[in-house]
Structure 1
Amino acid sequence: MADETADGAIRHGGDLGEASLLFPRAPEPWIDLSTGINPIPYPWPAPEASAFTRLPAKAELAALEAAAAAAYGAPPERVVAAPGTQALIDLLPRLRPPGRVVVLGPTYAEHAAAWARGGHAVAAVADLRDIGEADVAVVVTPNNPDGRVVPVSDLAAAAAGLAARGGWLVVDEAFADLEPVESLCGAVPPACLVLRSFGKTYGLAGLRLGFAVAGEPLVGLLRRGIGPWAVSGPAIAVGRCALADAAWRHEAVAARGRDAARLDALLERAGGRIVGGTRLFRTADFPDGPGLFDRLGRAGIFVRRFEATPARLRFGLPPDAQAWSRLAAALRER
């Protein structure tokens, strides 16, 4: 999704500074529904003091990557931890010479922006079969903001074509953890790299932790590009615990699924047509999207809008009963 402002800057969710400037008289506290972050965070353990006072050991990082590998169904040697998937998105364009990059869109705008900053020629395509002779193809699945899922068989076919000419396929599975979708992590094709987000799933975006799953030579390129001690000790400690907690993840799938269905019902009663989404966000088109964005903002509820599609709004999940009530009341207003 083209989510740039009029001056070309990329708009992201979670910017309550922007919300306060747009709606200075809105009641507080704000209800921030502008992100796709799990509103019910993992009950993280308090890391030992030493996690803050010394550099992480190689064995601790390896244990974190092993926990991620088990959670994602990937071989441990193919997993690389990073300080968030955004850091990986920014790093990848610097790991190969400038070339031709296609992004399956509309989607998360940082992918195209990062490759363009790296000197690559970037184009958007609406179908994976239209990648032509590109050197790199980028696919977000499930997609942000419409939840589109690209079958693994189609991804594998695209990866094979790219690998044959020395290209890469980058697959962003940031929203895959809680979805009933097939992942490439268990059998990543040659010249393919899969991104997985930790912060969105576990509601701990501020921890800054993410992972890449890939084969050689991409794994080696990533490790050298990231450098030593890229992931903090506290992030390693919390990440190891959370990723090993399959029971919590299973319950989150069920609970966030109920929340997503409840949100769909609210949006439909307010005149919205559900476009799609995931268990962590829902996207809908409204007869007057800008008017609804304004009404919600004045009620202290910040949602995600899109410059290129004014009718479309994306809603994260409310975190508690009070937030659900305020959202329902604001949607009922005319």
Structure 2
Amino acid sequence: MLEHGGRLRLAAQQFGIELNQWLDLSTGIAPYPWPLPTISVGAWNRLPELDDGLEAAARDYYGVQALLPVAGSQAAIQVLPRLRGESRVGIVAPAYAEHAQAWRREGHRLQEISEGSVHRALERLDVLVVVNPGNPTGRRIETELLLSWQAQLAARGGWLVVDEAFIDCTPELSLAAHSPLPGLIVLRSFGKFFGLAGMRLGFVLAEQALLDRLDEQLGPWAVAGPTREVARAALLDVVQQEYQRQRLQADGLRLAVLLSQYGLPPAGGTSLFQLVLHERPPELHEFLARRGILVRLITAPPGLRFGLPGDEAGWARLEQALKEYRS
């Protein structure tokens, strides 16, 4: 099993700092609490039902006619490789490592490639996986380029899988509106933008026939009743969404400026995280951890990924640690 951000209990044990004393910047999840609705008793004591309005709310939010709720986009990442026979799969790297692991686990022939080499590799591929914006780089790939890749793959029955986990603050860059195209599969995370990762919810946008195959593999009741109820309310709350988007965009810029002020200019990022390349990433990672600040250690490219503090105390604490590091 791959390591991920958010392993706060392990860090607390490793560095001997109480769990509640940490500033966790390791996950790329919105740090602000979303206003939660009251969850009905029925959501807890009845099996989930599909006519509760979640799918309708999600279709409106993403602007699509067909989608499938899943238990986090991670569930789709793991199951999609089972829907194809042995295939030649390219992944634009660096990328979220679970993609490569899932395709490799199912016996597909995997090739990690750079964005610049896609045009040369595409004729040899059956599937291309792209994370857009990139994780951990924040790199955006233009819609026109992605659609040209989709067209070339679809012409011979191939797939373009686009993981848009960090795109909610820039929805105009999403391929959601194009998801009915053959062979295009768009993955959307719910928990990152809404700050509700513990609910384990994501959505797959694609042709209905492919969604039906994926649904069959996942089985009934893939998303819990309380999750469905909270998510429906959040997806309908347009006012809170706009506030969330503006706040994340402002704080993403604030983080980039703060890091730059202390000699750590980001090499890329999104509204939810900033990537800092560094000569000795483990050294800086440990320096911050010994002060109760957890960031994500990145190996390719070597650096650190910083998420957002959730309050002014967190911002002040991060700035103080950066001051100490530069002194």
Fold match, TM over 0.5? yes
2:265 to 250, 253, 273: 273
The separation in 1 between residues aligned to 2:260 and 2:14, in whole angstroms, is 26
Distance 2:209 2:122 in 1: 23
Contact 2:25–2:307 (Cα < 8 Å) also in 1: yes
**CA deviations over 1:33-67 (Å, ceiling 9, x no partner):** 0001000132111210110100112212xx21111
How far apart are 1:117 and its partner, in Å? 0.6
SS, match of residue 97 in structure 1: coil
Q: Distance in 1 between matches of 2:13 and 2:50?
A: 45
Answer yes or no: is the 8 Å Cα contact 2:131–2:164 preserved in 1: yes
1:143-292 equivalences under 5 Å are 143-179=134-170, 181-188=172-179, 189-292=181-284
- Contact 2:59–2:67 (CA<8 Å) still a contact in 1? yes
Q: Which runs of no fewer than 5 residues in structure 1 stay unpaired?
A: 1-8
Q: Which amino acid aligns with 1:106?
A: P
Is residue 31 of structure 1 aligned with residue 23 of structure 2?
A: yes
Distance of 2:312 and 2:222 partners within structure 1: 38
Q: Structure 2 CA distance, aligned partners of 1:181 and 1:273? A: 26
Distance 2:258 2:250 in 1: 13
SS of 2:60's equivalent? Answer: helix
Q: Is the 8 A contact 1:47 1:238 kept in 2?
A: yes
Aligned to 1:49: 41
Cα-to-partner distance string for 1:278-333 (whole Å, 9 max, x where unaligned): 111111123543322111000000001113443x1110000111111111111100
2:59 counterpart letter in structure 1: A
Alignment of 1:13-92 (within 5 A): 13-25=5-17, 28-60=20-52, 63-75=53-65, 78-92=66-80
> Is the 1:26–1:298 Cα contact (8 Å) retained in structure 2?
no
Aligned-pair distance for 1:228?
1.4
Counterpart AA for 1:227: G
Q: CA RMSD in A?
A: 1.5
Aligned length: 321
TM-score normalised by length of structure 1: 0.92
Does the CA-based 8 Å contact 1:37-1:280 persist in structure 2? yes
Determine whether 1:325 maps to 2:316.
yes
- 1:23 deviates by 1.7
How far the C-alpha of 1:151 sits from its partner, in A, is: 1.1
Displaced runs of 4+ in structure 1, greater than 6 A?
Answer: none
The Cα of 1:74 is off from its aligned counterpart by 1.1
Q: Could you tell me how far apart the structure 2 residues matched to 1:308 and 1:246 are? A: 37
Question: Which residue number corresponds to residue 5 of structure 1?
Answer: none
- Equivalent residue, structure 1, for 2:122: 131
Consecutive unaligned residues of structure 2, counting only runs of 5 or more, are none
8 Å CA contact 2:190, 2:202 repeated in 1: yes
Counterpart selection for 2:287 from 290, 295, 302: 295
Cα distance in structure 2, aligned partners of 1:141 and 1:59:
31
More deviation, 82-91/253-262? 253-262
* Change in 2 beyond 3 A, CA 1:25/1:39: closer
For 2:128 and 2:275, the matched residues in 1 are separated by: 25
Residue by residue over 1:118-153, the C-alpha shift from the partner in whole angstroms, topping out at 9 and shown as x without a partner, is: 111111110232333211110010111111111111
CA distance in 2 between counterparts of 1:58 and 1:190 reads: 25
Does residue 1:103 correspond to 2:94, yes or no? no
CA distance in 2, matches of 1:250, 1:96: 38
Deviations 1:195-250 (A, max 9, x none): 00001111010101100000143122112122211111101100110011111111
Query: What is the rounded CA distance, in whole Å, between the counterparts of 1:293 and 1:270 in structure 2?
Result: 15
Query: More helix per residue: 1 or 2?
Result: 2
Shift of 1:21: 3.9
Q: Distance in 2 between matches of 1:215 and 1:226?
A: 17
